[in-house]
Structure 1
Amino acid sequence: MSADGPQVTIVHACLRDGQGGSATAVVEETSMTDGERHRVPVLTGTSHAVFVSVHEESGGPVAAVRFFTAEEELPACGHGTVAALAFLADRAGSGEHRTTLHTLGGVLDGWAGWEGQHVTASFDTGPVVLREPTTTECDLVLPALGITPDLSVPGIQVAAVGRPRLLVPVSTRSVLAGLAPNLDRLRAACDSLGLLGCYVYSVPERSGRAAARMFAPSIGVPEDVANANSTACLAAHLADQGVTGITVDMGDSLDHPSTITAAAQPGTPSGLVRVGGAARIARVLRLP
C-alpha cells in the first residue's frame, strides 16, 4: 500500500440495543491487490473487510461488493453486507435507500434507513440449500466442538448460502455458552469436509428468540461476533417447522453482544430469507 493508504470506515454491524456488534472494515474500492485486501482486517483489528464500488443505473444505485478475511475471499458475508449497506446509507444521507448488491455469491437486493443514531439494514439472501449431514460429518465435527451425545439434540443440518456450514442445535443457552471447541481439530474437520464452519444454536423459544455461536477457524475466524448468513440458513430450516421469523443473539462470549433478525419470505423462491440488523458508523481512519 502507498504511504497515504485507503480510507477505512469501521462499521459495527448487528448491534444489540444500540451497543456491541461486529466491527467491520468497509473500504470504497481502490486499486489494491488481493494481498493488500487480506491485510486490511489485520491492520484494523476486524474479522472481515468489505470493499465497495458504487455506480448509478436507471433503477437506482448498484454496488459491487467483495468480502475478505485475513486468509480468504468469501463469496458472501451477511454481517459484511449489513455493514456495506450502512456505509452506503451514511454516504447517501437521510431517508431510506435501496441498493442492488453484486457479490461473488450472486445479486442481492438490500435496504437501509436511519433510525435515530443508527442504520437498520436488511437484504434478501440467495436461496438456502439444506440437507441432512452424513455420519462422517457428525463424527468429525461434533467431538471437535465438544458436543457429546448428552448435549446434542436432533436437527443437525448442512446449510449453504454461498458455502456450506453445519447448523448444530443444543438444548439451552447455558450449554451453548459452555462450549470450548478444539479449534485446531475443528479446522482440520471443516477443511476435510469443505465446510465454512459450524453454527451452534440454542433451541429457539416460542417467540423465535435464540442464541448462537459461529466457529470458522478454516477462514481465519475462530469465533464470529455475528454471522447473518448462518442465521438466514437457520431461518430457512425452521421455516419448514412453521417458525416464521427468528431473532438470534450472538457475540456474548466475546463481549460484543450482537443481534440478527431473519425470516423466510413468503411467495419467493424456496429458501429465500430476508436477514438484517442495526449498524453504527464507529469511526473513519486512514491505513498506513
Structure 2
Amino acid sequence: MSQVDVYLVRAFSISGQGGNLAGVVLHADALTDLQKQSIAKQVGVSETAFVSQSDKADFQLAFFTPTVEVDFCGHATLSVFWLLRHLQHISAGSYQQETKAGILAVEVLLNGDVLMSQSLPIWSAEFSAEDIAPMLGLQPQLIAQSGLPIQAVSTGLVDVMIPVPYGVLDCLEVDSDAITRFCQQHQCVGFHVFEMNPPEAIYTASCRNFAPAVGIPEESATGSSNGALACYLNRHFGYQQAIFEQGRAVKMPSRIMTQLIVDNGELTQVKVGGEGAFSKLISICMD
C-alpha cells in the first residue's frame, strides 16, 4: 500500500484565514481516475486537484469532488498555482493549464496572488421564482422584486444565478434534496445565491453556493460561479470589476476578486483571483 501526499491550501482566504480548502496532489501522472476519486473522497474537501504534465499547456489539471470528477474548479486552480509558487516550483508570470473546460490562462502575481482566466460566459435557461424560491425557504416575490432573472450561466461550470434582497442571504432554509433533483434534471452544478450590497460597502455582493448534487452542501468560496456572477452583473449593471464575499454562513469568510476585459463593447476575457494560504500536508493511503 502506497501513500500520496496531499497539500491542503486555503483559496480566496483573507489575510491567511477563512477561504475554501482545496486538496492539491502534485506529480499525479501515474494515478488512474479511480485512484484520484478515491483520494478525493478520503481528503474530504469540496475539490481536490491533480497536477500532471501536459503536451498542450504548462500543466494538466483534473478536479475531483468526493463523489465525482468536474470539468473545472476555480478555487482548486488558485490553490495549485499558489502552491507551486509557494514551493518555488514556478516564479511569478503567466501560465496555461489544460482542463476539461479547455486551455485556460493563469497569472501568478509577484505577491503570490493568482488571477485565473475563465471561459467566456455561456447563457442558458432562465427559471421562475415560483420554481426556485421554495428550495431556499423563500417566498417567490422576494426573488422577483429584484427585477433580475434567475439564470443558468457558465464560465466553466453551470451554476444558477439567484438574486435575493439585501439582508435575506443569511435567512435561507435550503432543501438540499430538492436542489439535487433540480440540478440533475437541468444539468447544472449548483445554486449561486447572491445579494447586492450598498454602494459604500467593500464587497459588491455577498454570495452563498449550494452544490449538493456533486457532494457539496455549501461551499465557502467558488471561483467559477463568481466568474459567472461577474458576467451576469456586467450584463445587467455594466460592472467590469467586482469583489465578492462568500463563506460567511459556514464561518469561512472568503474574498473573490473579478475583472472583465471588454473591447468595443464585447466581453473578451473573464478573470477571477485572490490570495492563497497553506493549511497543512496530509498523507493518504492508496491501494
Give the TM-score normalised by structure 2. 0.89
Cα deviation code 1:193-212 (max 9, x no counterpart): 11111000012432662110
Determine if the alignment matches structure 1 residue 170 to structure 2 residue 164.
yes
* TM superposition shift of 1:149: 2.1
CA distance in 2, matches of 1:169, 1:121: 28
8 A Cα contact 1:236 1:271, kept in partner: no
- Aligned in 2, Cα 1:201/1:31: closer, same or farther, shift over 3 Å? same
- Aligned in 2, Cα 1:164/1:96: closer, same or farther, shift over 3 Å? same
Match for 1:284 among 278, 281, 285? 281
8 A Cα contact 2:41 2:67, kept in partner: no
Match for 1:230 among 225, 231, 235? 225
Match of 1:97 in 2: 93
* TM superposition shift of 1:103: 0.3
* TM superposition shift of 1:284: 1.8
CA distance in 2, matches of 1:63, 1:94: 11
Match for 2:9 among 8, 11, 16? 11
* TM superposition shift of 1:93: 5.5
Cα deviation code 1:47-90 (max 9, x no counterpart): 11000114699xxx701001000111111111111111112212
Match of 1:265 in 2: 261
CA distance in 1, matches of 2:173, 2:222: 18
- Aligned in 2, Cα 1:55/1:64: closer, same or farther, shift over 3 Å? closer
Equivalent runs, 1:101-140 vs 2, <5 Å: 101-113=97-109, 115=111, 119-131=112-124, 133-135=126-128, 138-140=129-131
CA distance in 1, matches of 2:137, 2:7: 37
Match of 1:242 in 2: 238
Match for 1:149 among 117, 140, 148? 140
The letter of the residue matching 2:229 is L
8 A Cα contact 2:256 2:273, kept in partner: yes
CA distance in 2, matches of 1:55, 1:69: 22
- Choose 3-12 or 62-71, whichever is displaced more: 3-12
Determine if the alignment matches structure 1 residue 186 to structure 2 residue 179.
yes
8 A Cα contact 2:258 2:271, kept in partner: yes
Cα deviation code 1:20-41 (max 9, x no counterpart): 1111100011422322212323
Determine if the alignment matches structure 1 residue 38 to structure 2 residue 37.
yes
CA distance in 2, matches of 1:131, 1:203: 22
Q: Please, what is the CA RMSD of the aligned residues? A: 2.1
8 A Cα contact 2:262 2:268, kept in partner: no
SS at structure 1 position matched to 2:59? strand
8 A Cα contact 1:141 1:190, kept in partner: no
* TM superposition shift of 1:270: 3.0
Runs of 5+ consecutive residues of structure 1 not aligned to the other structure? none
8 A Cα contact 2:44 2:66, kept in partner: no
CA distance in 2, matches of 1:131, 1:190: 13
Give the TM-score normalised by structure 1. 0.89
The letter of the residue matching 1:80 is A
CA distance in 1, matches of 2:39, 2:18: 21
- Aligned in 2, Cα 1:94/1:54: closer, same or farther, shift over 3 Å? closer
The letter of the residue matching 1:248 is F
Q: Identity rate of aligned residues, in percent?
A: 24
Count of paired positions = 277
8 A Cα contact 1:11 1:26, kept in partner: yes
8 A Cα contact 1:26 1:83, kept in partner: yes
8 A Cα contact 1:163 1:196, kept in partner: yes
The letter of the residue matching 1:276 is G
* TM superposition shift of 1:131: 4.3
